[in-house]
Chain A
């Protein structure tokens, strides 16, 4: 089980993952060795799985982001597996999520511009198997982005 110190460590690390262990220790009033032991324990428990760099696709020239909400033909028993497998083959798909609700699968698709998006949509997305319906939400702006948890 996590105690209060674990939560404080994760909360602080979440808000600034690049800070050094001694800095984090100072902030929390914990010795470096105690902090290191806690972090090792969190890793061993599988709570802290790692850190990843966040790529800003816009800075790489991908100006368009579209959220495609897909309903699948569920009379096909392999609909989810086939669809997801094929969607992994489209490089511009940066996220694949499955849902319980009106939407079955959501794909995040990025493109350089609308012409490029059109091309990906026609040559890639529409050829994916078992699609019953697709709705598109065009991304305008990100107002809040804290993938962090309210620990």
Chain B
């Protein structure tokens, strides 16, 4: 689907604040409420807007540590990939699992209350996963989401 300038502006605004109403967005862009609503609906229907994300302050909720793990599997083969993916996805502290190509096979985002809680997750849950080989950990210090190529 091709986006025009107004679609891009809508997408940009909604990716900052998804709770904005069609009326409020329309006023910003000089568009009627129904016309804005139709455009937003089209962005949803075409799958360009994949959903909403709740922006929570992790630290205030007691999740002080986020660690990214790079995991290399020791044994490969389709069965072991399936087993690994199923088991790793079942760990509640593992927020994202990405299958990647490069020096690692999987990239995990793990959230924990503090470093000792992270150690528990790492030792009891991650290191015991089927097929796990080399594991590299990097502690997240800051993160910033960018608007991406919408403002061109």
B partners with A: yes
Interface residues of A (CB under 8 A from B): 2, 10, 13-14, 17-18, 45-57, 59-60, 62, 67, 84, 88, 91-103, 106, 110, 135-151
Partner of B111, one of A53, A143, A144, A150: A150
* Cα of A142 to Cα of B28 in the assembled complex, Å: 35
Q: Is the beta-carbon distance between A98 and B141 smaller than 8 angstroms? A: yes
19 contacts between A and B (CB under 8 A): A48-B55, A49-B57, A52-B55, A53-B53, A54-B50, A54-B53, A56-B47, A62-B149, A96-B143, A98-B141, A135-B102, A135-B103, A142-B96, A143-B98, A144-B94, A145-B97, A146-B95, A148-B54, A149-B111
The total number of A-B Cβ pairs within 8 Å is 193
Q: Which residues of B contact A146 (CB under 8 A)?
A: 95-96
User: Can you list, as one digit per residue, whether each of B1-37 has a CB less than 8 Å from chain A (1) or not (0)?
Assistant: 1010000000100111111000000000000000000
- Indicate the size class of the contact surface on chain B: 35 or more
Contact between A149 and B15 (Cβ–Cβ < 8 Å)? no
Q: Does B101 contact A (CB under 8 A)?
A: yes
CB distance from A17 to the nearest CB of B (A): 4
B residues near A140, Cβ cutoff 8 Å: 98-101
Q: Are the C-beta atoms of A51 and B19 separated by less than 8 Å?
A: yes
Measured CB to CB, the closest approach of chain A to B93, in angstroms, equals: 6
A55 contacts across to B, CB distance below 8 A: 11, 15, 48-50, 148, 150
- Report how far A67 CA is from B51 CA in the complex, Å: 23
**B66 to chain A: closest CB distance in Å?**
9
Q: Given A17, A97, A138, which contacts B143 in the complex, CB threshold below 8 Å?
A: A97
In the complex formed, the residue of B with least CB distance to A56 is B50
Q: How far is the CB of A62 from chain B (nearest CB, A)?
A: 8
The complex places the Cα of A93 from the Cα of B103 at a distance, in Å, of 21
Closest CB of chain B to A74's CB: distance in Å? 14
Task: State the CA gap A110–B147 with chains docked (Å).
Answer: 12
Q: Do B18 and A95 have beta carbons less than 8 Å apart?
A: no
Asked if B60 is an interface residue, CB under 8 A from chain A, the answer is yes
How far is the CB of B44 from the nearest CB of chain A, in Å? 9
CA distance A116 to B76 in the complex (A): 32
Against A, the Cβ 8 Å flags (1 = close, 0 = not) of B70-110 are: 10000000000000010011001111111111111011000
Quick check: A102 and B138 within 8 Å, CB to CB? Answer: yes
Q: Which residues of B contact A54 (CB under 8 A)?
A: 15, 49-53
Most chain B Cβ neighbours within 10 Å, of A60, A88, A92, A147: A60
